[in-house]
Amino acid sequence: MRRDPVLALWLAPCAALVAGPVAGTTYLTVEQAQAALFPGAQMTAHPVALTPAQVKAIEKASDTRVREKTLKVWSASNGGWFYVDQVIGKHELITYALALDAAGAVRGIEILDYRETYGGEVRDPKWRAQFVGKKVGSPLKLDVDIMNLSGATLSSRNITVGVRRLLATHELVVGKP
């Protein structure tokens, strides 16, 4: 099973690029996600503020905490619902969109934005500034795009929990006839 060697070049520690904080990636805006999940549909926003009783019912049904009491939800002119929600992990902040069909079944999930959040020095402008000019004339890359990061260990568990919470929210509040 001998194979041809792979075509790749290791970069030396002092290569043209310097190390930088892992930032994240923006995949889609809310409008792009709406167009992708409900092509051609008119989207109507529905401002919903959950009452304490509704929060309690959702938490009970989904076995998760409701942090955000104001929902970001739209209905689609051709039937269906579109939610934008955020989940927070130990190091990550994920904004995602959930599309439901008219009957409330999952039609699609798109991650809109993924950010890594580290306490302390990674966010500290002074700490970040140490990379600036580390190598004169080097293309400075302060925010590493998650797309090109190997070994990221991103878990989707928080998204799964968020979707469960939104499905309970839809059943108990928004999609209720």
Partner 1 sequence: MSLWSASLETGAEVCQRARPWLGTVVSVRVEAGPGLAEPAIEAAFAEVGEIHRRMSFHDPDSELSRLNAAAHRAPQAVSGRLRRVLSAALALARASGGSFDPAVGGDPGASWRDVELGGDGRVRFRRPLRLDLGGIAKGYAVDRAIDGLRRQGIAAAVVNAGGDLRSFGCRHTVWVRDPAEPGCGIPLLETADAAVATSAGYFDENALVEPRTGGSLGVDRSATVCARRAIWADGLTKPVLADPSGSVGLLRRLGARAVLLDCQGGRLYLE
Rule CB under 8 A: which residues touch partner 1? Answer: 1-11, 13, 15, 17-22, 25, 27-28, 36, 90-91, 94, 96, 109-111, 114, 116, 118, 122, 139, 141, 144-157, 159-160
* Closer of 10 and 176 to partner 1 (Cβ): 10
* Minimum distance, C-beta of residue 99 to partner 1, in the bound complex (Å): 12
* Closer of 102 and 152 to partner 1 (Cβ): 152
* Minimum distance, C-beta of residue 87 to partner 1, in the bound complex (Å): 10
* Closer of 44 and 160 to partner 1 (Cβ): 160
* Minimum distance, C-beta of residue 27 to partner 1, in the bound complex (Å): 5
Residues 6+ apart with CB under 8 A from 33: 82, 84, 97, 110, 112
- Using an 8 Å Cβ cutoff, are 117 and 93 in contact? yes
Place of tokens 């709406």: 34
* Minimum distance, C-beta of residue 65 to partner 1, in the bound complex (Å): 20
d(CA 81, CA 103): 9
* Closer of 27 and 175 to partner 1 (Cβ): 27
Alpha carbons within 13 angstroms on the beta-carbon side of residue 81 total 22
36 SS3 class: helix
d(CA 149, CA 38): 31
